[in-house]
Amino acid sequence: MSARVVVVTGSSSGIGAEAAVQLGAKGWTVCLLARRADELEQVAERVRAAGGEASAYPVDLTDDAQTQATVEAILADHGHVDVLVNNAGRSIRRSIRDSLDRLHDHERVMAVNYLGAIRLTHALLPSMIERGRGHVVFSSTMSTQVPIPLFSAYLASKSALESYARSLLAEEGHRGITTTIVYFPMVRTPMSGATSIYAAMPMMTAEKAGGWLVKAVVDRPTRVTSLGGAAGQAGMSVLPGVLTKVITPQIRRMDKSLARKKSRPE
């Protein structure tokens, strides 16, 4: 039996790193992609210690030439890829009012979260199509399922990615190319840590979130989400105006509460 090969982007830390280690423990050969070579090697050692095989491929997914060269190297090294996990991402917490002269906020986020993922997916799809099978996982957020303020650039990029995932499944699902969208709640990672008030907010651990990616890789459902996320998505389909009026004041109050907790002396 040939090795099961998975590519995980954004795997130098956080959710991607934890998913890589867990997949290694299940016997997968893991191709680790991120920009930071030293940290990728550290994760590769963790994967090997867990019982898997790992190879590190430092790459900037916003660069066409680097991405294509990385895919060629992966296929040369492993022959095929069974699953691609598009997990790399960046986020910006800023209101639309404060972003009116900052179009580059959207451009930078889109470059990584959407175009970077599509660039890599398109580079790998021909080999999957040739084999007649493959699975592509897209990391998204519960915040696209419910109305969340202050993250317009991030949420727009993830919503675009979700639409692409659904289109890919609609066009290629019957030919063996399937997709999963993973809707994460807030997760304790370096990315969420960039917003200081979130230090006081209860969050999912990166280890548990990594398990959600493992479920997407192994079980291949169309969607991985929480009960709250699924309920929010259903509510937005039926009563979007009402749900927005109910939820967004609660989020503003939560932000104020978190800010007060952060300001308290230890």
| Active-site residue list | 154
CA angle 197, 203, 209 (to 5 degrees): 135
CA distances from 181 to 58, 89, 107, 215, 217 (A): 25, 14, 23, 11, 11
Name the β-bridge partners of 179.
136
Strands (E), the chain: 5-9, 29-34, 53-58, 83-86, 134-141, 177-184, 223-224
The answer to whether 153 touches 106, Cβ cutoff 8 Å, is yes
Give the number of other CB atoms < 10 A from CB of residue 50: 18
Q: Given the structure tokens 């934890």, which residue do they identify?
A: 18
How far apart are the C-alpha atoms of 18 and 6, rounded to whole Å?
14
CA distances from 108 to 51, 121, 206 (A): 37, 19, 24
Quick check: helix, strand or coil at residue 121?
helix
Q: Chain-centre distance of CA 85, in angstroms? A: 8
Residue type, 42: Q
225, two tokens: 């989400």
